[in-house]
Structure 1
Amino acid sequence: MTSTLNQDQSDYWNGEVGQRWALYHEALDTAFAPFTEALFARAALPPGARVLDIGCGAGDTALRAARQVGSGGHVTAADLSEPLLAVGRERAAREAPGAAPIEWLRADAQDHAFGARFDHALSRFGVMFFEDSTAAFANIRRSLVAGGRMSFLCWRNMAENAWVTLARDAVLPILPEAEAPQPGAPGPFRFAAPETLLPILEAAGFHAIECEPVDRMMRVGDTPEAAADFVATRGPIARLLREREPDVKDAALKIITALFRDRFGSGPVELGAACWLVTART
């Protein structure tokens, strides 16, 4: 049974947002691909490893982990969103033989009783939304065997992420009452500052913690129209627009599209993105 401790996030990811992300999962995987490469290069999952994928989404990272650890390993893919998990299950059914079995689990990693059975916990941008981060990371640590490892990605400051700020700054004039992100609240930039994250991981019982800055260009769309749709409906500014009237949403989309067309012509839109690649041991 899924916990209701993180009920707001559960509602968010099982509603219209989760359905939209599930529908457009391929664009998300493409956009995040450079960071996925960095995550798996650092994680270096060995054959036979037992892996927990936290906030697995539509399954891109779980499927990759399963291929990497092979048939002798095992992957547990955990997420709050049933629409995204459904896509992951469908994708796994099409995989070639030789990969590890994957358990697709609707669960809140914040308090789910996984048992101490994993060699490695990993996450691609899935750890910033816990209601109680210290409790969540302590629970993840308890899921790891002695000597287990954790690797995850989280976003750095919004100001360092042009894929967010360029469009956000363009639409803020038509959203005058938009609130700034609240420090410490669940959200994509919760761990932008290492001084916020490191004490939480230490309190949760992790050691040998390292935060490596990773900067990449992120392709958010093959055309200005596709890129505008991506940042307006799946990026952080989607939350700014979610409860707006349709005419405001349409105006925002037109503003972003025009901005991208002016800067990139009719071709692909690639913007700077910056995150932390965090590693730790039990």
Structure 2
Amino acid sequence: MADGEITQAEYWNGEAGERWARNQRVLDAVFAPLTEALFAGADLRPGDAVLDVGCGAGDTSITAARRVGAEGRVVAADVSGPLLAVARKRSVAAGTAPIAWIEADAQVEDFGEAVVARAISRFGVMFFDDSVAAFANLRRALAPGGRLTFLCWRPLEANAWIAVPRAIVLPLVPVPEPSPPDGPGPFRFADPEIARSVLAAAGFREVAVEPVDRPLALGRPEDAAGVVLELGPVSRLVREQADSVRDAARAAVAAEFAQRAGDGAVSLGAACWLVSALR
């Protein structure tokens, strides 16, 4: 991490975490097709113990608790206090697994040795400072034969929900500094071979990578502009700009979305990798 850069814990316990916490219901709805894809590949079974890495406001943890039932259990870990505060207030139906919400950095947290059958993550594993060490730590928590399953983004240009608004915003803001190709960030595993090599170095076996393509329902044009500019990767381009720039960016994106809206709603494609591996 370069001098002056904030840590992931600082970022997610600051304004970004508060913003995501306020928009928990919107995010859950937008990412619903991707959450469904994650669980379709996770192979959770009744009675399983599950570790949810980067659980955020708890949508995936609650889904896992429902899948494994009252005889199972879920450990839900995130570095963000604001998001966990929302998660802890959410209702969990009777007959589901108990959930232990913990504020922890999954890179280094001692979850125990061979304590869970499954580890899952929806976009929570791309920001590790040392990916090999972090995944080795997660592997330690898995029982022999346990499965890790996670979703991560494919390249930016394959994700229309990011690429379309980004192209509109770029002429309005200073040229952004390029992200290091091998550093923490949303596209850390856009190249699937990086995920394969990192997981192999961490001791995992039978690594499988499958493409997942889903349309994301972003809402009406003005609401959709808010989603991509406040909650998606494009938010980084406008976050520190003057109000006039942010207003211009939102208006421009909303205008473009209005041209793309079908039946009044905007839907743009998301492209992910579904990655799984065995301890």
After TM superposition, the score normalised by the length of structure 1 is 0.95
- Aligned residue for 2:142? 144
- Aligned residue for 1:74? 73
- Aligned residue for 2:116? 118
Instruction: Please give the secondary structure, in 1, of the residue aligned with 2:119.
Output: strand
Superposed CA deviations along residues 166-209 of structure 1, whole A, max 9, x for unmatched, are 00001101124222332112111110001211111000000000
Whether 2:34 is the aligned partner of 1:35: answer: yes
Instruction: Please give the secondary structure, in 2, of the residue aligned with 1:77.
Output: strand
- Aligned residue for 1:190? 188
Q: CA deviation at 1:248?
A: 1.2
- Aligned residue for 2:166? 168
Whether 2:254 is the aligned partner of 1:253: answer: no
Kept after mapping to 2: 8 A contact 1:75/1:103: yes
Which residues of 2 match residues 77-226 of structure 1 at below 5 A? 77-91=76-90, 94-116=91-113, 117-220=115-218, 222-226=219-223
Which 4+ runs in 1 deviate beyond 3 A?
none
The AA in structure 2 aligned to 1:45 is L
Q: Distance in 2 between matches of 1:162 and 1:25?
A: 22
Q: Distance in 2 between matches of 1:197 and 1:233?
A: 28
- Aligned residue for 2:48? 49
Superposed CA deviations along residues 86-123 of structure 1, whole A, max 9, x for unmatched, are 111111xx222100000000000001011120110000
Whether 2:235 is the aligned partner of 1:238: answer: yes
Instruction: Please give the secondary structure, in 2, of the residue aligned with 1:232.
Output: helix
The AA in structure 2 aligned to 1:145 is A
Q: CA deviation at 1:266?
A: 7.0
Q: CA deviation at 1:245?
A: 1.6
- Aligned residue for 1:3? none
The AA in structure 2 aligned to 1:52 is L
Superposed CA deviations along residues 44-70 of structure 1, whole A, max 9, x for unmatched, are 211110000000000000000001111
Instruction: Please give the secondary structure, in 1, of the residue aligned with 2:7.
Output: helix
Call closer, same or farther: CA 1:148–1:7 in 2, change over 3 Å.
Answer: farther
Gaps of 5+ in 1: 1-5
The AA in structure 2 aligned to 1:228 is A
Superposed CA deviations along residues 220-247 of structure 1, whole A, max 9, x for unmatched, are 2x21010000000100011111221221
- Aligned residue for 2:259? 262
The AA in structure 1 aligned to 2:37 is A
The AA in structure 2 aligned to 1:188 is P
Kept after mapping to 2: 8 A contact 1:29/1:60: yes
After TM superposition, the score normalised by the length of structure 2 is 0.96
The AA in structure 2 aligned to 1:152 is F
Q: Distance in 2 between matches of 1:242 and 1:209?
A: 37
Identity, % of aligned positions: 55
The AA in structure 2 aligned to 1:153 is L
- Aligned residue for 1:11? 10
The AA in structure 1 aligned to 2:28 is D
Instruction: Please give the secondary structure, in 1, of the residue aligned with 2:34.
Output: helix
Instruction: Please give the secondary structure, in 2, of the residue aligned with 1:199.
Output: helix
Q: How many residues align?
A: 274
Instruction: Please give the secondary structure, in 1, of the residue aligned with 2:240.
Output: coil
Q: CA deviation at 1:262?
A: 2.0
Q: CA deviation at 1:33?
A: 0.8
Superposed CA deviations along residues 249-279 of structure 1, whole A, max 9, x for unmatched, are 1111111111111221671110011000000
Q: CA deviation at 1:7?
A: 6.1
The AA in structure 1 aligned to 2:15 is E
Kept after mapping to 2: 8 A contact 1:224/1:266: no
